[in-house]
Amino acid sequence: MKEIVYYFERDMLRWLRGRVSVVSALIAPAAWLIFVGLALPTTFSEHYIDFITPGILVMTMLGVSLQGGSLLVFDKILGFLNKFLALPSSRESILFGKILFITTRGLIQATVILVLAWALGASLFSLPVVLLSYGILALFGVLLSAFSTTIALYLSDHDSYAAFNAMVSMPLFFTSSALMPYSVMPPWLSAIAYWNPVSFAIDAIRSLQEGVIAWTRIGALALLALLVVAFCVRKFRRVTI
Amino acid sequence: MVPIETSGLTKYYGDLCAVDHLDLSVGNEIFGLLGPNGSGKTTTVLMLTTLLEPTRGSARICGFDTRDEAQEVRRQLSYVPQEMAVDVKLTGRENVSLFAKLYGIAGRDEAVDRALGMMDLSERADDLVRTYSGGMRRRLELAQALVHEPKVLFLDEPTLGLDVASRRRIWDHIRTLRSRGMTIFVTTHYMDEADASCDRVAILDRGRVVAMDSPAALRARVGKDVISVRVTGSVRGPFPEGIEYLGGRGDGEAVFSTDCGSEKVPLLFRWLEERGVTVRSISVHEPTLDDIFLALVPTREDGYGFDDHKFRTMLRRR
């Protein structure tokens, strides 16, 4: 189990020492919140910033988690993965180290958004709501980073990974309930959006704002995360080069 | 306990045979696996380090089966791949320390200091690896590999891309490790290095061992002397008695072996001129592994039956 922390430390140190990546990670989600949250003309909500904040939070986790798979792609291309796989420590700790790092980095970015949303006048944030939101975001981050890291295990170069990322991230985001409520979606979209895991997380956080804990959405997210992580652990244990 | 033992070790990529029934038994020695690119050296190392599953056959490291007891095998060995994989944003000490932690070593700080000291990196240990030269980075990788004092060390092309002085230094370190009782399995295509430092070498060609012996014994197989001739025109047999054609290299070089080189030179010269071949230079030297290699591994032009598509498939899947 300690190995997970060691792999995490390595990624964290490397990230923190690349100043550009840290600055970019903090500015990019802010830009989304400001431009989308304040600029988009909306008719279904008087206080769009309240509505959009959960969407941007989950979108950031989505982007960060899918992007995070490239960490493993580079470890693989540069020869680190071979060295790690030849170690006696358990192989799934490589996976869990990545999940921990990617999710932590996502939560740091989520914090930037929460602070900014609060500064921009978003209401409805109490301490329990914020804490539970972090929990939901962490769960979502675990799901997506496990998925992306395992996909990375099977792709041999960064171009293929970027192609995979582009193919997955945009459709997942735009077919979710991030930008508009189900009531204003065309029926075909609302059906897809309802079953999109991205919406599980967004809906759960929105319910929190209204003072409701949406157990079915959280449960669906947790179940999916559990299944995906279990699958990924199996893959990591058996992987050969 | 035999450090490395394989029996019938075989790896297919699709229908391409990368390693073909490899039988090795490596003791406490520096064992060199030599061969041209794509001959199966790296595939062999990957199978021995449990990173790749053999199609057939088996391998044991210190008595543990690489397939059934992979975890135990990984405890016995260290593996330094071809790519120089050190984190440039971390310091040398942090790089080694990561491995010490992952190996779960007791007395971690001392072990890290010792490994860094052994590779002469103590003074620069706290600098970012970004500032290290290629030779230092390679030594840092060795320090990472040595931190848990493995019984068997696998080095895949350890001197690739290094300058002469750095190469010599790496080999000095490798010999020191052997003298401390470590088994070192090294792949290389630098014949001179293998010649100077390996206790035994195996020459691999298209996945098959074509020769395995000490460098001296292999050299003795070719005969006492080697005559190397640079010519314009093509060289064809049958050749005069007592002179054996080993093969051709680029730039019109033809290589022959014989028992008394200096006496055979005039004979060979006349023989070539009579056949309309212009001789540009002649030299006589003692056989090197390069010459053995030439004799044992046909070059592609010599009717290798080279399948470009298969070769690239193999490189990609290596």
pLDDT tier for residue B299 given thresholds of 50, 70 and 90: low
Q: Please check whether residue B87 touches A, CB under 8 A.
A: yes
Share of chain A above pLDDT 70, in %: 95
Yes or no: say if A193 and A175 are a contact pair by the CB < 8 Å rule: yes
Name the residue with tokens 């490589």.
Answer: A94
Mean pLDDT confidence for B55-61: 95
Q: Please check whether residue A82 touches B, CB under 8 A.
A: yes
Which one-letter DSSP state was computed for residue A163?
Answer: H
Could you give the residue ranges of the DSSP H alpha helices within chain A? 2-17, 19-39, 48-77, 80-85, 92-119, 127-154, 158-174, 187-195, 197-209, 215-238
What are the pLDDT digits (tens) for B59-68?
999 999 999 9
Contacts of B151 in chain A (CB under 8 A): none
Q: State both tokens at B291.
A: 């010459």
Tell me which of B20 and B251 has the higher pLDDT: B20
pLDDT of residue A44: 67
Query: What's the length of chain A?
Result: 241
Nearest residue of chain A to residue B49 (CA atoms): A86
Among B46, B84, B87, the residue with its CB nearest the CB of A241 is B46
pLDDT of residue A40: 67
Q: Please check whether residue B314 touches A, CB under 8 A.
A: no
**What burial letters (b/e) apply to A187-215, b meaning 16+ CB within 10 Å?**
eebbeebeebbbbbbbbbbbbbbeeeebe
What are the pLDDT digits (tens) for A19-54?
888 888 888 878 877 777 777 666 666 677 888 888
Q: Which of A223-237, B32-46, B51-65 has the lowest mean pLDDT?
A: B32-46
Longest CA pairwise span in chain A (Å): 58
- What lies within 8 Å, CB to CB, of A170 at 6+ separation is none
pLDDT of residue A43: 63
**Chain-chain contact of A83 with B80 (C-beta, under 8 angstroms):** yes
Yes or no: say if B150 and B182 are a contact pair by the CB < 8 Å rule: yes
What are the pLDDT digits (tens) for B98-150?
999 999 998 999 999 999 999 999 999 999 999 999 999 999 999 999 999 89
Give the predicted TM-score (pTM) of the model.
0.86
pLDDT tier for residue B32 given thresholds of 50, 70 and 90: very high
Nearest residue of chain B to residue A13 (CA atoms): B90
Q: Please check whether residue B112 touches A, CB under 8 A.
A: no
pLDDT tier for residue B314 given thresholds of 50, 70 and 90: low
Which value does ipTM take for this structure? Answer: 0.88
| Dihedral angle, C-alpha A107, A111, A112, A114, nearest 10 ° | 130
Contacts of A86 in chain B (CB under 8 A): 49-51, 74, 77-79
Mean pLDDT confidence for B24-47: 92
Contacts of A84 in chain B (CB under 8 A): 102
- What lies within 8 Å, CB to CB, of A98 at 6+ separation is A7, A11, A68, A71, A72, A145, A149
What are the pLDDT digits (tens) for B173-204?
999 999 999 999 999 888 888 888 999 999 99
Mean pLDDT confidence for B221-239: 80
The amino acid sitting at A107 is L
Nearest residue of chain B to residue A16 (CA atoms): B89
Q: State both tokens at A212.
A: 């409701």
**Chain-chain contact of A84 with B102 (C-beta, under 8 angstroms):** yes
Give yes or no for residue B307 having a pLDDT over 80.
Answer: no
